[in-house]
């Protein structure tokens, strides 16, 4: 389902390790939805590898925020290559930390760029990706004779997680991909104007689900 409501993030957290000219590079990939989650993952990883020479990192969030750090490596040789690997992957809500244990052989600027970037890229490939859709909540109230019309409309708009309540009236709560919210709102206004439904409300609460 292409559109602005779709994004991809890592399917799973992974650890990838390789040795390059006696230095050990360990890349850890994790999902992070905000800066606090990124900081917490960095704290955990830095503690795990507290004896490492460097813990270089980068992250990209779904809101467009991004960050990188060389953590003592020469400027531009570690954090930026990791960030570039994330951008090539097309993932968001992801942090990659590449830990280095120095093995006694200097890699040079080009060698460091390749080592950090390639290690991050391999870890990101291992993490895979899952496509997620951002949806917005709708509540609709109607008579029993309107259920068919509303059901077909919601199906056409890709509604998910429908919860029906049958009492004197019929009420449904569902989540609709944000790309379809304007269309659904217009259609519901028309149905209400024609007295086919009683009321409707867009709660502006959001849910994310996996796109199959």
Q: What is the pLDDT of residues 144-161, one digit of tens each?
A: 999 999 999 999 999 989
Non-local CB neighbours of 204 within 8 Å, separated by 6+ positions: 136, 137
pLDDT of residue 134: 86
Q: Is the pLDDT of residue 207 over 70?
A: no
More confident site: 178 or 127? 127
Q: Is the pLDDT of residue 14 over 80?
A: yes
Q: Is 98 left (phi over 0), alpha (psi -120 to 50) or beta?
A: beta
Edge-to-edge strands of the sheet including 94-101? 14-20, 23-31, 94-101, 54-60, 66-69
Could you give the C-alpha distances from 121 to 17, 24, 90, 210, in angstroms and in order?
Answer: 12, 16, 11, 23
pTM of the model: 0.77
pLDDT of residue 206: 59
Q: How far apart are CA 170 and CA 146, in angstroms?
A: 9
Mean pLDDT, range 171-200, rounded to an integer: 95
pLDDT of residue 104: 93
Mean pLDDT, range 11-38, rounded to an integer: 96
Q: How far apart are CA 171 and CA 82, in angstroms?
A: 49
Question: Residue 212: which pLDDT band, with cuts at 50, 70 and 90?
Answer: very low
Question: Residue 62: which pLDDT band, with cuts at 50, 70 and 90?
Answer: confident
For 3-7, 106-110, 167-171, 187-191, which range has the lowest pLDDT when averaged over its residues? 3-7
Question: Residue 132: which pLDDT band, with cuts at 50, 70 and 90?
Answer: confident
Question: Residue 203: which pLDDT band, with cuts at 50, 70 and 90?
Answer: confident
Could you give the C-alpha distances from 49 to 27, 44, 91, 128, 151, in angstroms and in order?
Answer: 11, 9, 25, 24, 54
pLDDT of residue 2: 42
Q: Is the pLDDT of residue 32 over 70?
A: yes
Q: Answer for the pair 21, 105: CB distance below 8 angstroms, yes or no.
A: yes
How is residue 124 written in tokens? 């990101």
Mean pLDDT, range 60-76, rounded to an integer: 95
């Amino acid at each position: 389902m292409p559109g602005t409501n779709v994004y991809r993030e890592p399917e799973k957290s992974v650890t990838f390790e390789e040795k390059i000219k006696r230095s050990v590079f360990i890349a850890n990939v994790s999902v992070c939805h905000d800066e606090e989650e990124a900081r917490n993952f960095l704290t955990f990883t830095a503690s795990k590898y507290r004896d490492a020479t460097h813990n270089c990192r980068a992250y990209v969030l779904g809101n467009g925020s991004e960050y990188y750090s060389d953590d003592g490596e020469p400027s531009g040789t570690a954090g930026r290559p990791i960030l570039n690997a994330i951008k090539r992957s097309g993932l968001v809500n992801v942090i990659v930390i590449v830990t280095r244990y120095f093995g006694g052989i200097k890699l040079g600027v080009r060698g460091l760029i390749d080592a950090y970037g390639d290690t991050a890229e391999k870890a990101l490939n291992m993490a895979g990706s899952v496509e997620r859709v951002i949806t917005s909540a709708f509540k609709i109230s109607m008579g029993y004779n309107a259920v068919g019309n509303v059901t077909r409309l919601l199906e056409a708009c890709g509604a998910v997680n429908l919860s029906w309540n049958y009492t004197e009236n019929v009420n449904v709560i569902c989540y609709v991909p944000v790309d379809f919210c304007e269309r659904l709102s217009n259609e519901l206004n028309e149905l209400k104007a024609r007295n086919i439904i009683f009321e409707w409300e867009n709660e502006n609460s959001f849910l994310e689900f996996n796109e199959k």
